[in-house]
A and B are shown apart, each in its own frame.
Chain A
C-alpha cells in the first residue's frame, strides 16, 4: 500500500499517490471551480493537505474516498472564496475553449448551467456524472449516508434542470 509506505517514511510513495490520483482530483476540482488554472492550483493545495494530514486517515474507508472528500471540501471552500472571479473566468474560458485546435463537443448550455449552480451542487454532479461514483462513495465523499446523498443529488439535478431549461 502506498499510504502505508508513505506513513512508514517512504516519501517517494507519496509521489506515486499523487500521480495515480492527480487526474481524478483535478477533475473534481475543475468541476467544482469551473476553471482549469484554479483547479490545478487547488489540486496542489489538496495534495498538500493530504501530505500533511495523511496520518489522520483512519483506513475505515478507501483512501480514494478519503481523498475525494478532501478534494470536494477544499474545492467547494475555494469556489466560495473566489466565486465571483471563478464565474467570470469560467465564462471567458468557456468561450475561448471552443478553439479549432481543441474541439469542444460539450454542450455550452451545460457549461453555462454548471457555472450558475452552487459549488456544492456542482460537486455532486461531478462526482456522479463525471467520476461515476456510486451513491455510497458519494455519500462517503461528502460526509453523509447513501439516502442523504441520493436526496442531495436529486435536488442538485433538479436545480440543474431548472437552470438548464431556462438557459437559451
Chain B
C-alpha cells in the first residue's frame, strides 16, 4: 500500500466507519487512486462489526450470579501446605541429627584435649648417652671486627715532623709510621703543608690536620682510616662518633 497522507488516512477511516454512501462516492471521485483502499477498509470495518453478532451471543438464559470466593494463585493456595511440609522436614532432620549425635559413643573433645602436649626429648635406647668426641678443631667464631684491636696500632702515640710536603704524602708517611692504612677519598685537596707532632696518635694528628685543611678522618673499624673532605655540599654528613669531636665544616662559607 502506498503511503497515505495522515489527513486522508483519517478521513478514509471516518468514511469507512460512517457508512455514508454519498460521502464515499465523493471521496472516490476526488481520489480515484484511493478508491480501492477505501473499499478495502469499508469491508474490513463491516467484517469487524459483523464479527460480534452470532458468535458473541450471550448465554440464554443468563446464568444465576453466585459470588465466588476470591481466586488465589496456585502458589498462594499451596503456600500453607508447602510451609507446613518444610517445617515437618526441618523437624525430622533436626531430630535425626540429635539422635545420631547423642547415640554415638564418641568422646567429645574438650578444650583441654585439643592442647598439644610439650615435646620432651627422650634418649633412644640404642644410642649411647655420650657420643665420642671427634678430633675436630673447635670452630672459631665468625670474623668480627673488634674495635679495640683494630685501632690499637694507630692509638699508639708517635711523632711526625715534615717540612713542606703535599698533604697526601704526609698522610702516606703517617700511615707508615703509625702502622695503619689511611685512605684519602677522591676530591681531597693536596696543598703543601708542614707538620710537627710529638706523642700523638694518628687519629689525633689527623683530627688536627683536618681542622686546618678541612677534612674528616673516619675510623672504618677494619684497621683503616678514611679521610674525606670535611664538608659536603649538602651538609648532611655526620662525623663518626668514633672519631669524636669533629664537626663538619662548610667550605667556602
* Chain A CB within 8 A of B59 CB: yes
Interchain nearest-CB distance for A132 vs B (Å): 9
Contact A15-B68, Cβ < 8 Å, known A109-B47, A129-B48, A161-B44: no
A145 to B92, CA, bound (A): 60
Q: Please report the total number of B residues contacting A with Cβ < 8 Å.
A: 24
- A129 and B49 within 8 A (CB): yes
* Chain B CB within 8 A of A10 CB: no
Chain A residues with CB under 8 Å of B53's CB are 105-106
A22 to B54, CA, bound (A): 17
Contact A27-B67, Cβ < 8 Å, known A106-B51, A157-B13: no
B43-77 vs A: 1/0 string, CB under 8 Å? 01101111111111011001101111011000000
* Chain B CB within 8 A of A57 CB: no
- B58 and A106 within 8 A (CB): no
* Option from A51, A104, A160 in Cβ contact (under 8 Å) with B54: A104
Contact A30-B56, Cβ < 8 Å, known A44-B65, A47-B65, A157-B13: yes
Within 8 A of A (CB), among B67-99: 67-68, 70-71
- B56 and A104 within 8 A (CB): no
Chain B residues with CB under 8 Å of A94's CB are 55
- A19 and B54 within 8 A (CB): no
Contact A22-B62, Cβ < 8 Å, known A105-B54, A125-B48: yes
By beta carbon, the residue of chain B nearest A102 is B54
- B58 and A22 within 8 A (CB): yes
* Option from A14, A52, A114 in Cβ contact (under 8 Å) with B51: A114
A19 to B56, CA, bound (A): 17
- A129 and B55 within 8 A (CB): no
A29-44 vs B: 1/0 string, CB under 8 Å? 0110000100010001
Could you give 10 example pairs across A and B, Cβ below 8 Å? A14-B65, A27-B56, A36-B55, A48-B67, A94-B55, A102-B54, A106-B50, A110-B48, A110-B50, A160-B48
- A105 and B67 within 8 A (CB): no
Chain A residues with CB under 8 Å of B54's CB are 97, 102-106
A23 to B60, CA, bound (A): 10
By beta carbon, the residue of chain B nearest A164 is B44
- B56 and A31 within 8 A (CB): yes
Given contacts A31-B52, A130-B49, 12 further A-B contacts (CB under 8 A): A14-B65, A22-B62, A23-B62, A36-B59, A44-B66, A45-B71, A102-B54, A105-B54, A106-B50, A106-B51, A107-B50, A157-B13
* Chain B CB within 8 A of A111 CB: yes
* Chain B CB within 8 A of A26 CB: yes
* Chain B CB within 8 A of A63 CB: no
Interchain nearest-CB distance for A106 vs B (Å): 4
By beta carbon, the residue of chain A nearest B16 is A157
By beta carbon, the residue of chain B nearest A51 is B67
* 6 nearest A-B pairs in the assembled complex, by CB-CB distance: A107-B47, A130-B52, A110-B47, A26-B58, A106-B51, A23-B58
Interchain nearest-CB distance for B37 vs A (Å): 10
Chain B residues with CB under 8 Å of A6's CB are none
- A107 and B51 within 8 A (CB): yes
Chain B residues with CB under 8 Å of A129's CB are 45, 48-49, 52
* Option from A15, A30, A103, A104 in Cβ contact (under 8 Å) with B65: A15
Interchain nearest-CB distance for A146 vs B (Å): 15
Chain B residues with CB under 8 Å of A52's CB are 67, 70
Interchain nearest-CB distance for B6 vs A (Å): 10
A36 to B48, CA, bound (A): 18
Chain A residues with CB under 8 Å of B68's CB are 44-45, 48
